[in-house]
Amino acid sequence: AQSVAQPEDQVNVAEGNPLTVKCTYSVSGNPYLFWYVQYPNRGLQFLLKYITGDNLVKGSYGFEAEFNKSQTSFHLKKPSALVSDSALYFCAVRPPINAGNNRKLIWGLGTSLAVNP
Amino acid sequence: NAGVTQTPKFRILKIGQSMTLQCTQDMNHNYMYWYRQDPGMGLKLIYYSVGAGITDKGEVPNGYNVSRSTTEDFPLRLELAAPSQTSVYFCASSDPQDIQYFGAGTRLSVL
C-alpha cells in the first residue's frame, strides 16, 4: 500500500540551530513530493514541492528539502531555526497519475516542531 | 486575494442535527477537497471533486454528502450529526501543479 511516514511526532531544536524534519514514502514510480506547514488554528500552507531535477528544493521562509530516491526520503531542512518556525509540518506525496488516483495526495501524520529561544 | 473561504469558523451541534459547511474558492480550480483533521491523526479525505458536477468519495465519507454545482462552491453536508464527527474540517482546492490551497477551517463540536 502507498504510504507516507513522518517518523517523529515532535522535533525540538534551539533557535539558531539547524533543523530537520524527516519524511519517507512508499510509492511506486516517480511521485510529486510536498511539504506544508500549519500554524495554530490555521489551514495548511504550501512550503515547497519536488517534481524532478535538482535534489535540493528551496521553498518559502528559508526552508529547503532534500530528495533522496534510493532512500525514498524527502527531509525538510532549515539552516537556522527561528522561534516563529514552531508549527505542525506535513509531508505529502502525489503518486503518478493513473486510473483512480485523480491527483489526490497521500499525507503523513505531521510532525510538531518546537523551536526554543 | 480571498483564496479558499470556509464558513462558519466554529459551530456546536446537538446529536442528530444537520448542517452545511460552506466552501468557496476564487482561483478557478477544478479540483476541490474536504478533509477532517483529528489530533494525531493527520488529514483524512472525506470527499473530493474533479470539476463541477463530479464528486467522489474519499477515505471517510460515511455521514457526509457533497455537491458541486459550480466551479467555485463545494459545500459539505452533515445530515445526522454524531459525536464522532467532532473535528476540524478543511476545504482545499488545487492548481494544475497539484499544489493545494486550504481554507482556515471549521471547528465543529457535536454534543
In a mutational test of the B interface, the residue from A9, A37, A49, A104 whose CB has the highest number of chain B CBs within 10 Å is A104
Query: How far apart, in whole angstroms, are the C-alpha atoms of residue A26 and residue B100?
Result: 21
| CB-CB neighbours of B70 under 10 Å | 10
Q: Tell if the CB–CB gap between B99 and A42 is shorter than 8 Å.
A: no
Q: CB of B110 within 8 A of CB of B85?
A: yes
CA dist B56 and B46 (Å) reads 9
Please list every residue in chain A whose beta carbon sits closer than 8 Å to the beta carbon of residue B59: none
pLDDT value, residue B110: 96
Nearest Cβ partner of B103 from A32, A43, A94?
A43
- Summarize pLDDT for A23-74 with one digit per residue, the tens: 999 988 889 999 999 999 899 999 999 998 889 999 999 999 999 999 999 9
| Summary mean pLDDT of chain B | 95
The pLDDT > 90 percentage for chain B reads 93
C-beta separation of B74 from B29 below 8 A = no
Out of A17-26, A90-99, B57-66, least confident range: A90-99
| Residues of A whose CB is below 8 A from B98 | 32, 34, 49, 94, 103, 105
Residue in A32, A46, A107 nearest the CB of B42: A107
Q: How far is B79 from chain A (nearest CA, A)?
A: 25
Range ranked top by mean pLDDT from A15-19, A37-41, A49-53, A95-99:
A15-19
Q: Is B45 in Cβ contact with A32 (below 8 Å)?
A: no
Q: Is residue B110 within a helix (H) or strand (E), and if so which, with residue range?
A: strand B106-110
Does A15 touch chain B if contact means CB atoms closer than 8 Å? no
Asked if the model's pLDDT at residue A101 lies above 70, the reply is no
Could you tell me if A105 lies within 8 Å of chain B, comparing CB atoms?
A: yes
> Tell me: the pLDDT tens digits for B30-71?
999 999 999 888 899 999 999 999 999 999 999 999 999 999
Q: Scanning every residue of chain B, which has its alpha carbon at the shortest distance from the alpha carbon of A41? A: B104
Q: What is the DSSP letter of B71?
A: S
Q: What cell numbers appear for A10 in the block?
A: 515532535
> Which residues of chain B make contact with A36, given a CB cutoff of 8 A?
100
